Structure 1
C-alpha cells in the first residue's frame, strides 16, 4: 500500500499542511492527556471544552501531527521554534476532516470489515469477534468503546497497514448516527446483538430503537447480517426484509440458523466461565470463554457466526473465543474478601443489561452459597418511561439480601425492597458500605457510567 501522507490528507480535506510531510496512519487521540510520543492529535470542539485549548499540551506530550481548524491555528505562531518538527493540517471542520482521512485510509488498506451494533453486548461481541479471528487474520479493532464517528475514525487511523480484518463497534443515541458511520466505513458483515430500551429520549420507543439499529444494514457493501433471533421485533422485521443478503439468526427458539441448545455459567476460584452448545445444520459446536453471564452464549454465537462467514473453521473460531480475557466494567469478577466477590458491571446500564446482571448474580450467589447484594445506580436516557423501567428493576431485587441504590431515578418508583437504602451522592454510599462484612457476600455493582461506580468497585476490592 502506498504511504498515506499528510500532504495528501490535507488536499483530500480541502486543508493546508504546515510542517514536514509525514504519514497520517498512527495512533490518533482527541484527549491531550492520552498522547504518546509520535501520536496524532485532533482538536475537537465539544459542549464542555475545545481541543484547540490543548494543542500545546499535546505537543509537549509528543504529538507529531495535529488536525486543527484553520481559524484557530491563525492565533498560533506555528512556524515558531516550539513547533519545529511538528506537522499541522489546517481544515475548516476537524470532525469531518478526521472522518474523511479515516475513510481514505480504510480504502487504501482495504480490509474486510465487520461492524457490530445493538442495545447491549456491542463491546463484548466486538472483543469476542476479534479474538475468534486473530489466529487466522491480522485483525484490528478499537481498544475501548470507540463507537461514534470520531471513535471509529480514530480506530481506523491507528490500523496497521497490513490489516486483513477490521472489527468496528457502532453506537447511537439519535437517528442517522449509524447511517453516517456506515456511509464512511461500510461493513461487509453486520451484527445486531439486541433491540432493548436504551436512549429512549432520542428514539421514543422500542420501534425507534429498532429503526436506529437497522441503519447498519444500509451499508452498500453488506453481504450478511447476524442478528438476535429471540428478539421478536428484530426477528419479525428480518423475516420480511433484506432477502438480498445472507441472514444468520442466532437464538434458542425456532428459526435460528445457529441455535443455542445449552448454556451455563460457573464461578469458582479460577474465576468465571460461560459455556454454550450451539447447533448449525445438525452439528453441535461447543464454545467457552472466561466471561460472566448467560448472555455471553449469544455474544459467542455472534462472534462465531462472523468468523465462520469470513472462512474460519469451527475449531479455529472456538479456540480464539476461548482465549478472550475478562473485560473491565462488563461482568469482571473480582475478590472483595477470601470468600467475597464483586461483580464489576460499572461501565454502563440499561434495563436489559441490568436485568441480565441481576439474574447472573442471583444464580452465581446461590450456586456458591453466598449472600447476594446489589449496589445499583440509576439508568439514564430512558425518557418519559424511566420511572416504569426503574420500578421493574426494583421488583427483580426482592430476594436480594441487601440493596443500595444511587440516584434520583429510583425515587417515586414504588416501594423499595425491604432493607434497601437510597443515596443521593456517591460519597455517602461509599461511606455506608460495611467493609468488615464482605465474606460470603457477592455484590453486583452496576449503573450508568456517569455515576462513577468504578470508585465503588475500587473501594470494595481494596478493602
Structure 2
C-alpha cells in the first residue's frame, strides 16, 4: 500500500538512521540542532533504498545511483501527509488518546481489552508527537484492524496537527491536570489544547472524556464518571472494581487505573465487543516501565512511578501507596515536577501540605523544587531532603545494607532520573 503512495516498495520507515533496516525509507528532518539530510550516507549504509529529500538541497551526485531520492518541498510535512494517506489506505478503526495523565497506560489497557477482537497496532513507547504519530501510522501492518494513537503536546495547536494526521474514528481525553502549565498558563488553556483532538473526528460525538472534569463539560459524547465505579480496591498487585454492574480485575497498581479501564470498557461496548472478552483482555494488561511499576530487591519493595509527574498524578500515586497493605516500612521519595513555570513554587508548597496528611510513611524530598515541600513537611513527618538525585544515590550506596524490609515509592518528572535510586540499592 505504501508503494502506491510513494512509488517505491519499502519495508520500513524511520527518521533516525540507527533504526533503519534494509529496504527502508529514510525521512531526513531538519531540527534545531542538526539536519537529517547530513546523515544520508548513514541511512544508505543501514539499508535505506529511498529517501525523502528537500528539493532546495542539491542531491549529492555521488549518491544518486545508490538510493532513490524523492524530492519534496518540506520533508516533515510530506512525512505527515504520507502517513495520513497510508492511514486511509489501511483504513483501520483509529482511536486517538490525549490527556494530562494516563495516556500511555490507557493506551495499553485499551490494547489489552480489545486484543481478542482486533489486530491492534499502537504507538511504540511514547512516540506521540509530530514525528511519533506519523511514524506510528506508517509502521502499521497492512492487516491492522484497530490503531491506537497516543497524542502528546506542550503547546496549543499541536494536538490539532496530530489529530488531522491520524483522523481518529474515536477519541479519548483521560483528564485535565497541570502538565505543561508552564507553557500554557492555566488548566483552562490545557483543556482547550486537549479538546483540539475533536478537530480530526468525523463524528464529533465519538469522544470519551473525564465526566468529572468541569472544563470538559462542553463536550457531547461519552462522559466517564467516578460515580459509576464501585467497590474499588487495591489487592496486592491488582485492582478490583465494578463498572456499570460488571466486575473487573486489572493486574496493576493504582486505584485511578479503574477509570482508565472504564474508557476501554465503554469503548468496547460501543464497538459491540463481548464483555467477557473485555474482562479476559484486561487480565493480559501489563503496565509500561516506570509507571507504577513494581520491583523487588532483596527484602525491599519498590513502586517506580518516575516516568513523569504532575500534581494530579502525584496525588494518585500517594493514594495508591497508602492503599497498599504491607508490614514493611513505607518511604515515599518525591522528586521535582518540571514545566510548571510560575506555578512551580506554589505547586511544590502544595505538595508539602499534602504530605502532612499521610502519617503512616516517611517522605524523602529530592530537588530544588521539592525544597519548598520539605520546608513545610519537615516538622510533620520523618522527612529527609536531598539537593538532587545524585546526592540521594550516594546516600543509598552508603546505607542500603541497613535499609531492609522497606517499601519505596519513587515519584518524579522524567528529568530527575529517579529510577537511578532503585538501581543503587544492593
* Fold shared by both chains (TM-score > 0.5): yes
Hey, what does 2:2 align to over in structure 1? 4
Query: Structure 1 pair 112/353, CA: closer, same or farther in 2 (3 Å)?
Result: same
Deviation of 1:419 (Å):
4.7
Q: Does the 8 Å CA contact 2:122/2:148 hold for their aligned counterparts?
A: yes
2:329 is equivalent to residue 371 of structure 1: yes
Instruction: Measure the CA separation in 2 of the matches of 1:165 and 1:59.
Output: 33
Select 1:314's aligned residue among 265, 275, 279. Answer: 275
Q: 1:228 aligns with which of 210, 230, 248?
A: 210
**TM-score when scaled to structure 1?**
0.84
Q: What's the counterpart of residue 151 of structure 1? A: 132
Displacement, 1:295? 0.7
Trace 1:274-285 onto structure 2 (pairs within 5 A). 274-279=239-244, 284-285=245-246
Q: Residues of 2 paired with 1:266 and 1:198: CA distance?
A: 29
Q: 1:331·1:344 contact (CA, 8 Å) conserved in 2?
A: yes
Alignment of 1:279-318 (within 5 A): 279=244, 284-318=245-279
Deviations 1:240-271 (CA, angstroms, capped at 9, x unpaired): xx3xxxx2221223xxxxx111211122xxxx
List aligned pairs for 1:383-398, cutoff 5 A. 383-398=341-356
1:50 and 2:35 correspond: yes
Q: TM-score, normalised by structure 2?
A: 0.91
What is the CA–CA distance in structure 2 between the aligned matches of 1:140 and 1:30, rounded to whole Å? 19
Shift of 1:74: 2.8
Q: Distance in 1 between matches of 2:306 and 2:410?
A: 6
- 1:272-317 CA deviation, whole Å, 9 max, x = no partner? 11121101xxxx1122122110011001100111122122011111
Distance 1:188 1:77, change over 3 A: same
- CA gap of 1:65–1:442, structure 2 versus 1, over 3 A, is farther
> After superposition, where does 1:195-344 map in structure 2 within 5 Å?
195-222=176-203, 223-234=205-216, 236-238=217-219, 242=220, 247-253=221-227, 259-267=228-236, 272-279=237-244, 284-338=245-299, 340-344=300-304
Q: Which residue of 1 aligns with 2:102?
A: 121
Question: Which shows bigger deviation, 137-146 or 222-231?
Answer: 222-231
In the superposition, relative to structure 1, how do residues 199 and 439 fare at CA in structure 2: closer, same or farther (>3 Å)? Answer: same
The equivalent of 1:358 in structure 2 is 318
1:72: Cα distance to partner? 4.6
CA distance in 1, matches of 2:162, 2:280: 31
Q: The residue matched to 2:394 in structure 1 has which SS?
A: helix
1:419–1:71 distance in 2 versus 1, CA, 3 Å: farther
Deviations 1:381-437 (A, max 9, x none): 112111111112222333364433332222345434355333334322211113214
Paired positions, count: 418
Contact 2:365-2:371 at 8 Å conserved across structures: no
Provide closer, same or farther for how the CA distance between residues 400 and 160 of structure 1 changes in structure 2, counting only shifts above 3 A: same
Q: Secondary structure at the match of 2:125?
A: coil
1:103 is aligned to: 84
Q: Is the 8 A contact 2:121 2:147 kept in 1?
A: yes
The aligned residue for residue 164 of structure 1 is 145
Across the aligned residues of Structure 1 and Structure 2, the Cα RMSD in angstroms comes to: 2.2
**CA 1:411–1:368 in 2, change beyond 3 Å: closer, same or farther?**
closer
Q: Could you list the runs of 5+ residues in structure 1 that have no partner in the other structure?
A: 11-20, 254-258
Structure 2 CA distance for aligned equivalents of residues 208 and 198 of structure 1: 11
User: Aligned to 2:337, what secondary structure does the other structure show?
Assistant: coil
Change (3 A) 1:47 1:420: farther
Q: Distance in 2 between matches of 1:459 and 1:198?
A: 29
CA contact (8 A) 2:251 2:286 kept: yes
Do the aligned partners of 1:152 and 1:168 also contact (CA within 8 Å) in 2?
yes
* DSSP-derived class of the 1:149 partner: coil
Is the CA contact (8 Å cut-off) linking 2:94 and 2:149 kept in structure 1? yes
Q: Deviations over 1:26-55 (max 9, x none)?
A: 443333333344443322222333333433
Quick check: 1:374–1:400 contact (8 Å CA) kept in 2? Answer: no
| Paired residues of 1:337 and 1:438 also in contact (CA < 8 A) | no
**Secondary structure, counterpart of 1:405 in structure 2:** strand
Equivalent position SS for 1:40: strand
Contact persistence 1:73–1:90 (CA under 8 A): no
5+ unaligned residues in a row in structure 2: which ranges?
Answer: none
Q: Is the 2:353–2:376 contact (alpha carbons within 8 Å) kept by the matching residues of 1?
A: no
CA distance in 2, matches of 1:266, 1:36: 44
Distance 2:372 2:168 in 1: 44
Q: CA deviation at 1:453?
A: 2.2
Partner of 1:67: 52
Output the CA distance in 2 between the equivalents of 1:37 and 1:436. 49
Residue 408 of structure 2 corresponds to residue 443 of structure 1: yes
